[in-house]
Amino acid sequence: MNDLQKMISETGQTADQILRQFAKEQQESWPLAAANYSGLASVEEKQFDFGDFVIKVQFNPGRIRSSAAKVDTASIAERKCFLCSENLPPEQKAVSCGNQFQILMNPFPIFRSHFTIASEIHTNQLFAPNIGEMLRISKLMEGFTLFYNGPECGASAPDHLHFQAGENGFMPIDSEYEKIKSSGELLFNGGSTTIRAFENYLRKMISVESASFDEGVEAIRFFTAKFQTFQPEKTEPMLNVLCSFADGKWTIHLFPRKLHRPSQFFAEGDKQILISPASVDFGGVFILPRKEDFDKISAADIADIFDQVTVDDVVFGELKKEIKTGFRTK
Ligand SMILES: [Zn+2]
């Protein structure tokens, strides 16, 4: 297996160039992936304007398997894990990104360059022990936004540790953040790190910016540990996370959640909207695998769905207070 870091050093190419080439080769040798990526060119999109920001909506039938994935323990136990090397289709190749993580092209794309970064070991999806890995890999994959879906927050393989990545600039948040930043509440500013909270963005969000790997990891670990105390019954607190590296610093957006799927997911008939919100939806692109949902979804539905799955004001207020009063860099 090729190693991304080694290829960057040896060829002088960027991760972006190398991974685009890898994706191109995969599409040439894997008909299913080729068909799904060329289908992406014709997916329908529209967007809703919320003033300072937008929410895009993408009709993407290929994502039905992810949106409607059965992720209960019994269903997971019955199926072969699709991220374990021995179960990968013979056409699927991998590029190593170190520390027993490998980059796979996602055959059911949302992004034009959509990768799954899977552990080489079959081990549960777990955030806290892998925060450092997220920062390390996002720096190695500069030009992409890495994301983490918690086991009850949209991951369709909650039993196999993985991140995903897509080209930076696709999700509205990538470009909106600079614009909305000043409207955030500053929770911490010290060392090489800034932490802000956002409440008027339909979804609640804590954003960490740091030029220091150690401080970035520390800040996210602090937040995750505090959030865990509000959901003690969970293996880990319910989270979606976006992480990118540019201009010498990391930007990490944390979306604390209270619910896996909104009521619309379980509704029947006209009231149903088949959506299972995950990181990409929180990044500002609602993924809808059914045409009727794409046609009927309204701005009010979007606001309502975010409201149901995001933590409530009290918990968010407590989290903000914890960071303000408790977080210090070493
Ligand atoms: Zn596995």
Give residue for tokens 């909270």. Answer: 197
Query: pTM of the prediction?
Result: 0.97
Rounded Cα gap, residues 267 and 255, in angstroms: 25
What are the sequence ranges of the domains in the chain? 2-326
Please state, for a pLDDT cut of 70, what percent of the chain lies above it: 100
In angstroms, what CA-CA distances link 177 with 169, 252, 283, 306, 310?
11, 11, 10, 18, 19
pLDDT of 22 over the 80 cut: yes
**Distance from the alpha carbon of residue 121 to the mean position of ligand 1, in angstroms:** 7
**Distance from the alpha carbon of residue 82 to the mean position of ligand 1, in angstroms:** 6
- What's the pLDDT score for residue 41? 85
Surface-to-core class of residue 91, CB atoms within 10 Å of its CB (0-12 exposed, 13-18 middle, 19+ buried) = middle
Each residue's pLDDT tens digit, 49-72? 999 999 999 999 888 777 777 888
Strands (E), 221-304: 239-246, 249-256, 285-288
Instruction: Return the CATH superfamily for domain 2-326.
Output: ATP adenylyltransferase (3.30.428.70)
**Distance from the alpha carbon of residue 190 to the mean position of ligand 1, in angstroms:** 40
**Distance from the alpha carbon of residue 153 to the mean position of ligand 1, in angstroms:** 18
Each residue's pLDDT tens digit, 245-303? 999 999 999 999 999 999 999 999 999 999 999 999 999 999 999 999 999 999 999 99
Asked if 106 contacts 37 with a C-beta cutoff of 8 angstroms, the reply is no
What radius of gyration do the chain's Cα atoms show? 19
**Distance from the alpha carbon of residue 158 to the mean position of ligand 1, in angstroms:** 9
- Calculate the CA dihedral of residues 205, 206, 209, 214 and round it to 10 degrees: -140
- What's the pLDDT score for residue 77? 83
Each residue's pLDDT tens digit, 72-89? 888 888 889 999 999 999
- Calculate the CA dihedral of residues 6, 9, 10, 14 and round it to 10 degrees: 100
**Distance from the alpha carbon of residue 38 to the mean position of ligand 1, in angstroms:** 28
Count how many Cα atoms sit within 13 Å of the Cα of residue 260 in the half-sphere of its side chain: 15
In angstroms, what CA-CA distances link 323 with 51, 177, 187, 263?
29, 20, 6, 31
The pocket of ion ligand 1, defined by CB under 5 A, consists of 81, 83-84, 122, 160
